[in-house]
């Protein structure tokens, strides 16, 4: 009986507690409880939220900051810019500007008149050869020349006798045949002597030559020596190589997707990877008709503009270069290059969102894409529509963006 009473009181107490909780959970206006969390965004907390949302993406600078930094405002201008195709290439010398000095006869080298890497002019002596049978060739020519004189006299005598019917026709014909044979042999000997750089018209028994010279067929730099004093040469043996580096040009390789953009006459700026600050200029002069099988790209040839560049010796055959082919430009909406800054990986410009009476200015970041450019301007395409007359930060954009970064970190103004 006693236990039943205790259980009854416990049930009543639980019911009363539950009823109080249910009533206490209903908040009514004016009951003194804080309803800020349920109040529509028109109260004090809502105003703070609006301020934060308005500030997001905006950067504000004071009039003093703007003056100190030298921020300049403006808008787009129409610029005639050229797009570029990036290419890789190498310096090259065409085969017609490379020469090999070879022996055109057998002989022994007695002198080498040039040094490796030295400059030689066309016609300069590269090597001197001693040719033992050169005397025999000159002797044959001089003897043939004397025999020709006698043969001409005999021919004239038999001709006169034939005209007078004083000799048989066959005697005249034999004299004529001997004359023609001697004339042919003499012409052959003359050609051989000229090949050996001997003038047959001045050759006498008193000025016979025992050596011949090998001369440079072009002007250029000696890039290789293949013989030395005492070397026995045969016909075709290479003695030296000469390259005319004044005719060096650039070969670039254009991938198939860009081939249609490249035309003869376009300008190319290029540099050596080891010195990217030094930029050289070239002009497209020719294009191959088929893709290079190894590089899977089209080879184009460009002449280097040498005005004001390093000496010719500064360019070496086969050197790797990086180039940019300038595609024909057109008028585009552009800004100074310093007006475009990076926000992470996105290019942005800074536009004026609001000017205050105090001189303070609030700026807004606008994402953009960039296109053609030159040394000063870049084509800019905003990713959102800008109202007419929108002012853009042309100078000092990096500083304005940096101030926004500081503000986001909690250390700004």
Mean pLDDT of the chain: 80
Residue 234 — pLDDT band, cuts 50, 70, 90?
very high
Sheet architecture: strand order including 238-243: 98-102, 238-243, 220-225, 119-120
- Residue 228: partners with Cβ closer than 8 Å, 6 or more residues away: 109, 112
Region 49-71: mean pLDDT is 70
Calpha distance 252→86 (Å, rounded): 10
Q: Which residue has the higher pLDDT, 135 or 373?
A: 135
Is residue 237 within 8 Å of 103, Cβ to Cβ? yes
Tell me the pLDDT tens digit for each residue of 63-80: 898 888 899 999 999 887
Q: What is the Cα–Cα distance from 372 to 83, expressed in whole angstroms?
A: 4
| Cβ atoms 403, 359 nearer than 8 A | no
* Model-wide pTM > 0.75: no
Dump pLDDT digits (tens) for 349-381. Answer: 999 999 998 989 999 999 999 877 777 888 899
pLDDT mean over 194-215: 87
Neighbours of 36 (CB within 10 A): 9
Q: Is the pLDDT of residue 141 over 80?
A: yes
Supply the pLDDT for residue 310: 44
Task: Give residue 3's pLDDT band: very low, low, confident or very high (50, 70, 90).
Answer: very low
The H or E element that residue 361 is part of is strand 361-373
**Helix ranges (DSSP H) in 70-112:** none
Contact criterion met (CB below 8 Å) for 102 and 231: no
Instruction: Express as a percent the part of the chain with pLDDT over 70.
Output: 81
Least confident segment among 227-236, 290-299, 345-354: 290-299
Note whether 330 and 80 are within 8 A (CB).
Answer: yes
For the record, the structure tokens of 55 come out as 């500030």
Give the H or E element holding residue 168. Answer: none
Q: How far apart are CA 189 and CA 142, in angstroms?
A: 9
All structural domains of the chain, each given as residue ranges with its CATH number in brackets, are 54-79+331-408 (2.40.420.20), 85-95+245-330 (2.40.30.170), 134-206 (1.10.287)
């Amino acid at each position: 009986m006693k236990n039943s009473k205790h259980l009854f009181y416990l049930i009543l107490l639980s019911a009363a507690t539950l009823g109080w909780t249910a009533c206490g959970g209903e908040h009514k206006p004016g009951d003194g409880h804080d309803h800020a969390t349920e109040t529509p965004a028109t109260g004090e907390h809502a105003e703070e939220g609006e301020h934060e949302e308005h500030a997001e993406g905006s950067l504000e600078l004071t009039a003093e900051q703007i003056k100190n930094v030298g921020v300049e405002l403006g808008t787009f201008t129409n610029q005639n810019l050229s797009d570029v195709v990036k290419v890789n290439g190498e310096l090259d010398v065409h085969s017609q500007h490379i020469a090999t000095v070879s022996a055109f006869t057998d002989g022994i080298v007695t002198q080498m008149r040039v040094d490796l890497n030295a400059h030689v002019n066309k016609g300069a002596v590269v090597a001197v050869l001693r040719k033992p049978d050169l005397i025999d060739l000159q002797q044959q020519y001089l003897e043939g020349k004397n025999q020709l004189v006698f043969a001409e006299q005999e021919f004239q005598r038999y001709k006169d006798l034939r005209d007078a019917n004083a000799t048989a026709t066959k005697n005249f014909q034999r004299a004529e045949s001997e004359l023609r044979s001697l004339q042919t042999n003499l012409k052959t000997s003359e050609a051989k002597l000229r090949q050996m750089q001997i003038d047959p018209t001045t050759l006498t028994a008193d000025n016979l030559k025992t050596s011949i010279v090998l001369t440079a067929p072009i002007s250029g730099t000696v890039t290789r020596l293949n013989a030395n004093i005492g070397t026995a040469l045969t016909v075709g043996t290479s003695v030296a190589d000469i390259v005319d580096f004044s005719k060096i040009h650039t070969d670039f390789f254009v991938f198939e997707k860009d081939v249609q953009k490249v035309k003869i006459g376009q300008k190319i700026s290029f540099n050596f990877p080891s010195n990217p600050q030094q930029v050289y200029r070239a002009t497209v002069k020719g294009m191959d008709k088929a893709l290079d099988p190894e590089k899977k790209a089209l080879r184009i040839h460009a002449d280097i503009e040498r005005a004001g560049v390093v000496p010719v010796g500064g360019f070496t055959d086969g050197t790797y270069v990086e180039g940019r082919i300038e595609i024909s430009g057109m008028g585009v909406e552009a800004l100074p290059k310093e007006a475009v800054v990076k926000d992470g990986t996105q290019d942005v410009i800074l536009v004026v969102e609001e000017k205050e009476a105090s001189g303070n200015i609030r700026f807004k970041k606008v994402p953009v894409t960039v296109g053609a450019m030159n040394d000063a301007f870049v084509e800019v395409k905003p990713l959102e529509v800008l109202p007419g007359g929108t002012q853009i930060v042309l100078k000092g954009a990096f500083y304005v963006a940096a101030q926004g970064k500081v503000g986001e970190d909690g250390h700004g103004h």
